[in-house]
């Protein structure tokens, strides 16, 4: 494979924004950019996978998104009972469980219900090979957060191995360095295969 093609593949794993925690997301920045739809992962993004209910920080965050006029949809690979309980307590009306990320079918169904330009849609999650890959495959914006707990729960050792390789690769290419958080560049376009 040529160097150029390899470079373009790396771009599939490039988040628009990389923050330590959802609490660091600048909602005003999203609003200024015209973001209208926020598709959010649950486990290890908003709460650790073993925490059943949203805490005050999560509630505040969701409230801020709502006040900014941005619609929020929860999308998780976890089972319906887990996601629906969390969503109800968090006051989130729309959610998708068993999303089978990194496949894009479920995400696509959320997007296609709305008449929105892809640049007005942002995904947030803690896993590059799931959350960021889906966003980029659909040509949407994305926010990568540091996982709340580093765990192998529901993550096969193969996925873990892949995620590590991807971080390493992105660092080598000066695209992203683990722990080197930045407010990124919404609206930046990069070439994809
Ligand atoms: Mg997650």
Cα 41 to ligand 1 centre (Å): 6
Q: Is 185 part of any domain?
A: no
Task: Please indicate, yes or no, whether the overall pTM of this predicted structure exceeds 0.85.
Answer: yes
Q: Is 23 part of any domain?
A: yes
Cα 69 to ligand 1 centre (Å): 24
**11, 30, 114 from 121: Cα distances, Å:** 18, 10, 10
Q: Is 48 part of any domain?
A: yes
pLDDT, residue 1, reads: 59
Cα 180 to ligand 1 centre (Å): 19
What range defines the domain where residue 36 resides? 3-172
**CATH number, domain with residue 93:** 3.40.50.1000
Return d(Cα 157, Cα 189) in angstroms, integer: 32
Q: Is 190 part of any domain?
A: no
Cα 154 to ligand 1 centre (Å): 10
65 and 93 Cβ atoms separated by less than 8 Å? no
pLDDT, residue 3, reads: 62
Looking at every residue in the chain, the average pLDDT score rounds to 91
Count of domains in the chain? 1
* 82-91, 93-102, 165-174, 183-192: least confident range: 183-192
pLDDT 10s digits, 30-58? 999 999 999 999 999 999 999 999 999 99
Cα 3 to ligand 1 centre (Å): 31
Cα 77 to ligand 1 centre (Å): 8
* 2-16, 51-65, 111-125, 156-170: least confident range: 2-16
CB-based contacts of 124, cutoff 8 Å, min separation 6: 22, 25, 38, 39, 40, 41, 45, 131, 142, 143, 144, 145
């Amino acid at each position: 494979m040529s160097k150029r093609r390899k470079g373009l593949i790396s771009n599939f794993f490039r988040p628009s924004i990389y923050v330590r925690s959802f609490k660091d997301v600048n909602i005003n920045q999203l609003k200024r950019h015209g973001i209208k739809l926020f598709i959010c992962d649950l486990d290890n993004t908003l709460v650790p996978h073993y925490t059943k209910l949203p805490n005050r920080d999560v509630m505040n965050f969701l409230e801020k998104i709502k006040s900014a006029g941005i619609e929020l949809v929860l999308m998780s690979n976890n089972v319906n009972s887990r996601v629906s309980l969390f969503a109800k307590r968090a006051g989130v009306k729309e959610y998708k469980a068993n999303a089978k990320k990194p496949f894009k079918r479920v995400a696509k169904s959320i997007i296609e219900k709305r008449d929105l330009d892809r640049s007005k849609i942002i995904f947030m999650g803690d896993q590059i090979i799931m959350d960021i890959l889906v966003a980029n495959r659909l040509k949407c914006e994305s926010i990568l957060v540091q996982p709340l707990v580093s765990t192998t729960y529901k993550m096969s050792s193969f996925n873990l191995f892949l995620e590590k390789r991807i971080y390493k690769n992105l660092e080598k290419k000066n695209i992203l360095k683990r722990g080197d958080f930045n407010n990124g560049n919404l609206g930046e376009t990069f070439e994809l295969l």
